[in-house]
Structure 1
């Protein structure tokens, strides 16, 4: 690839569009008179190649590259270079299909700087990559050697010559790209480290926490669904059971009603029989009035009256003895409870008495030991006073033994006094406890005697109660009372079950306030569950499970209502 044509328009001294065509493939010099614009052609080529050091093109800014800096009516500078690309082996990467490559660079006063490749706008990096791919880098230190630097190049040291050769060979381009890439990697690595730190310290723990919470929520949701489903099954089962029980109760009620009807029929028959007997009695009375023999009827009436009075007295006596038996039972129970309490108190007092006796024995032993020690100390004191030192340490002086004996005597006297005081206190407490024990035993014997009397009275009353003719009737009455209590318990259980069912099916009891005055409440039909009737009761449970909460939704006549 080589330069074939240069087109300059408004660049430096070229105010008009100037085309320099037909460059030789081996072009390497520009000749001409002074001021004819030779250097400006080289500057234009460097300008298109993308030079960044404007001092090498004798300008301080891009605005100075425009003809007279835009003051002569020219506000735009444009340079285009046409490259011959017939040699495909040395063609730029990506442009092997182009025979000619036109690269244009434009600058506008107060505007922007842009590149064009074959008439299409391109980024500066794309233009640089195009030239770098054919070992053209105008920004290399030795790409442009100005006047006065030839001698400096000739005197270069080996490292500098190597650097220049790398630039000429194009390998320097890859080093520059490598350095730029490494710098970019360093910058990106810092950002990556920050992102990793953010992930490790904040995002990942948050994700783990959220994942854990999600798992717990899923477990809770599954458990809640299972609980709701099981609750519905339980309610359905209980409903079916209670429905079956209700059917059984209905059958029992029907049976009882039938029995009641039968009893009513029997009662009617008995009424008929009673009427017949009354008529017969009237006939007999009439006959008796006509054929009265020696006042037999009056005598029988008196006997009936006497027996009736006797029966009333016996019933009153039975009730009195029954209440007496109940009172005796209560008294016996109270006396047993008092006796057990007194027995417990007596046992506690005996234990305390034993503990005091043991303490008294210990105090007596201590007193005896103190007296023996006191006597021994007195003997020692006498020996010391006599000068024999008997009972003392032969190695100690008499004064020392005397002082020790006196201190021992004083200590033993104090112990003896303390033991005597404790003995007196224990004896007083023992006497008081013995008195309490005697009183408790007397009270217990009295209670035992009262209990025996109450038990005897209870047995006598019980025998009299059993021997009374009305005992059998009383036992029948207690049986009837127990049956009545059983029936009341069954009724209470049924009522509790009904209350529980009413609480569970409270959603069916739909209540609402009128949204407006004179509202027609017939427009609200009620909840779905009340509006449905199941033809087959066996399918009620399945329908309830499938419908779920929709059974409690409200049905209205139109979509406007509500």
Structure 2
């Protein structure tokens, strides 16, 4: 029954496609010259006659298929009762078989448990016999080892007795020698006492020296603190410290007398006080710091100027690259836009052009023409034509950088059947390296698809049918 329905649907689709093809041909005849029109009319009349003949044959086949469908429906109604009776008998037999299977399975599980218990007992007995035999062998081996060890212990005992006797003889001889040397030990003890007394004196001297060292370390620490305080008080000392003690220099302390230097220092301090009233002593130091800061600022200025020049150069290069990219993209999109639109709407052309007196960077306008006559604005186009213009522009921009997959959801909803077929033909021709998933309700899109997925209701449920388009 389902195959007959599919056959009827296929016949209806074929009739609709043939009718649509006839309309498309008639529309194309209106746009051709008179000579071409006359030749095409003759060929099309013959084709129309053939299509009418095929249409009559299809209608006859449709009537026969409907009669056959009625017969099959009557048979199917009679078969349902027979199938229900057979199904009930099979269910009863299946229930009996399930009960018997459950009984046999319970008895079989009980036998399996008994068999597994016996296997475990046999394995335990075998393990016990093997363990006993192994223990017996180990006991025999241990007894033999103990006998050998006993014999070796007797031999060692005899040799040890001989060694003890020899050691006792040596002890007697050593006691005699110790007695003879006790006098020497007494002399050495006296000598040790003398050395201990000398050691005590030396330790006292060492303690005195350690006390003097601590005093010198304390004095050195105080001197270090004084030097640190003088360096903090007189900031010129760290800079001139390297010249201290040099012979013939300003700080030759050996060649100068302390009292003369003291009077000279007093004079210099008095002169410094007089001069400091009208002179800034830190001006030289501040001048040096300002000069260093000035040089640092000049160096940073040069770095900033070099960076600015590089940035200006990079910006100019990017602007030039942007211009070249925009011009290239505009040329490619404009070419694809015209090609796609002429495919979707035969006899029409479209292009992208900048406004008068401006460049591509200022913007682009869409121009549409029919039979080499350009329209002033898009407002002169119909709704379907404007939809085709928008679709052509979007697809042209996508074709500039194609993606591997596109999804179109009923883009042909507001278009005629001829335009729908042109869209499918255009996608197949221009997007050869991309895959399209298109949702459509019109047959014109189906003819150019590689695979069709049809959704329909079967027994109150939605089902999906996959069909490969071999054409």
Instruction: Give 1 or 2 for the bigger CA radius of gyration.
Output: 1
Q: TM-score, normalised by structure 1?
A: 0.18
Q: TM-score, normalised by structure 2?
A: 0.21
